[in-house]
Homo-oligomer: A and B are copies of this chain.
């Protein structure tokens, strides 16, 4: 099967598909609206580095698109289109079919369109480049946190890292935490709603401590956070109580929840957003002018977030 038939067979999804946007030509051609800016992000997923070798094709497809969508969520974007560069060791029709079905399902859920791709032979690797739009000068940035802003995270932190830790120790994670690891939900709706509420925002991919530090560094501010305020599921809370392993929560990463800062004057807007849309966000700290991150709680070790190299 050659590259052309591979794409035709597995990634020509009909409807708002490749061909409608000009694929089959050398480039996809895409309409753009005035008064908007493009936002774009790229991430590579490699077997054994970003997911265990026994991960299903369906979960690989889901997560490799979801983590890119999470980047768009963090800037408050509306998603538009993505490209897929897929490197495969061989042609496994069942694998490709499952991969494609799962990718399409997530793409459809968020209304993002696959406009181009490349398939190559090599070790399994997936590079996805997502593009969306924001109204001009309305992108949420890391660099806009203000002293006095309250710091929030969405949902719960540490579930994916706990699942990963259990997998590495040959334990069986609960369905809930393994699902948080394999199928993190991109917080696109929340990100879009935050553009008139938050000052700074990031998605937690590398770990809460490292990602919050990105906001602090780029905004030239400091912060204090209360470990006891970090929202945890019951099983992660139980694990922490037993082990005091706060590194799992602070540096585990793979959460794909949003961490954002918002001024006190916007708290009514934030509460209204939560009530209207059943969104859970929790205040974990406050931005200050210390130029450092202070962690208040029973924790005295430095955390070192995950690094690829």
Contacts and interface: CB of A to CB of B under 8 A. Distances in A.
A127 B44 contact: yes
A50 B121 CA distance: 10
Interface string A266-309: 00000000000000000000000000000000000000000111
Contact of A118 (B44, B87, B134): B44
Given A26-B71, A29-B38, A39-B30, A44 B120 contact: yes
Interface stretch (A98-106, A136-144, A177-185, A236-244): A136-144
Which residue of A27, A40, A43 has the most chain B CB atoms within 10 A of its CB atom?
A27
Interface in A105-126: 115-123, 125
Contacts of A39: 22, 27-30
A46 interface: yes
B37 A32 contact: yes
Contact of A72 (B27, B81, B115, B134): B27
Contact of A50 (B48, B120, B136): B120
Interface stretch (A1-9, A146-154, A161-169): A1-9
A143 B23 CA distance: 11
A151 B130 CA distance: 36
Please tell me how many copies of the chain the complex holds. Answer: 2
B43 A118 contact: yes
Contacts of A218: 24-25
A2 B75 contact: no
A257 interface: no
Interface residues of A, number: 66
A31 interface: yes
Given A142-B25, A203-B26, A42 B2 contact: no
A43 B136 CA distance: 30
A91 B129 CA distance: 24
Which residue of A48, A127, A308 has the most chain B CB atoms within 10 A of its CB atom?
A127
Which residue of A22, A142, A203 has the most chain B CB atoms within 10 A of its CB atom?
A22
A40 B91 contact: no
A90 B71 CA distance: 26
A145 interface: no
Contact of A41 (B28, B34, B42, B141): B28
B32 A38 contact: yes
Contacts of A28: 38-41
Please list the 10 inter-chain residue pairs (A to B) with the smallest Cβ-Cβ separation, ordered nearest first. Answer: A27-B39, A26-B74, A34-B34, A26-B71, A42-B83, A30-B38, A2-B307, A127-B127, A85-B127, A27-B41
Given A26-B142, A27-B75, A29-B37, 13 more contacts: A22-B139, A25-B75, A25-B218, A26-B75, A26-B202, A28-B39, A31-B38, A42-B116, A43-B85, A43-B118, A44-B85, A44-B87, A120-B308
